[in-house]
Amino acid sequence: MTLFLVSVRSNEEAQIAVAAGADAVVVSRQRPDAFIPTVPTLIVDVAANLLTPAVDGPSIAIGEDASHGLVIIRETAPTEADLDAIVEAGRSGIMLAAAGRLVDTLGLAALDDIASRCRSRGLLVGFCGGLESPDISRLLTFKPDILLVGRALRVAHRSDAPLDPDAIALFRGLFPQPTATTRPAKTPAKTPAKTEERPRRRRDRIFVRDMVLEIDVGAYAEEFGRRQRVRFSIEAEIEAIDHPTRDMRDVVSYDLLTDTIRQVAGVGHVEFVETLAETIAARILGHPRIGAVHVTVEKLDLGAGVVGVDIWREAGG
């Protein structure tokens, strides 16, 4: 579960945010100095002092009095030594922050890598810094524990404007909600009734076609150490909504497709285009609204023709 945190300036704004759907609020005056949980979760319980600024620079200095909570790291990616020090200090995790847009400052590939390295150490990871509604679905693919939103939840996206409850409700709808599981009641056995024909579901597709990147790929010795042009095309099948598109809650953005291509293509040398296609398909099918995906990966620099692979995969298949 990813928590939806809202940055507020007063107790009055906190009440507005909670009523509109925030999981928790951070009261920000001169600095984040108060944390108010609104739902009982393990993540909310990690600390009374949620955010503790760390010293900016090549290494992260942690205050001696820090005993829990998250270390806030601004404008830089933590090193392996930084994360080990945070674990050693007994902190619960990190909050990556940026004065501008975090997505632009560090890049999606770096955020994915940082989230993975935090999880491998049992650290929580949160993101904040200029987050807008299209960023939420992009960042949720990295399974962060916390997303903290500020200016985008204010009228006209102005930092000096009041909170906009409608904007908070819109963001709330972008976060997947936990589903309650109930044990089915036992019923006496009865003669099975005739199965009614199920109505056909309406389906839409989002796609990216002919996206070309230079990447490290190939199994032959001559292909190591030189980049090749590779073309990616993806079609993802989604279940259609039953009303006209109104806002980001109704959209599965094609950013999911282009982001996934860039992330998978940027991990280093990959021997087989089949590996690229399978990894891309698996990540895209992690989105709850996507039921099937068609991925084409083509190598363009091996001669007069084009070689590659086409795969089709379904969710749960």
- Each residue's pLDDT tens digit in the chain (317 positions)? 888 888 888 888 888 988 898 887 777 654 444 444 444 433 433 333 454 444 444 444 444 444 457 888 888 898 898 899 888 888 888 888 888 899 999 988 899 999 999 999 999 899 988 999 889 988 988 889 889 999 999 998 888 899 999 999 999 998 876 544 444 444 455 555 555 555 556 778 999 999 999 999 988 788 888 899 999 999 999 888 778 888 878 888 888 899 999 989 888 899 899 999 999 999 999 888 899 999 999 999 877 788 999 999 998 87
The domain containing residue 234 runs over which residues? Answer: 203-314
- CATH classification at residue 137: 3.20.20.70
Residues 241 and 162 in one domain: no
- How far apart are alpha carbons 27 and 55 in whole angstroms? 21
Question: Whole-model pTM?
Answer: 0.68
For residue 225, what are its two tokens? 């150490």
Residues 81 and 143 in one domain: yes
Residues 133 and 237 in one domain: no
* 272 located within any domain: yes
* 195 located within any domain: no
* 188 located within any domain: no
* 32 located within any domain: yes
Residues 151 and 18 in one domain: yes
- CATH classification at residue 285: 3.30.1130.10
Tell me how many degrees the CA angle 249-251-255 measures, rounded to the nearest 5: 120
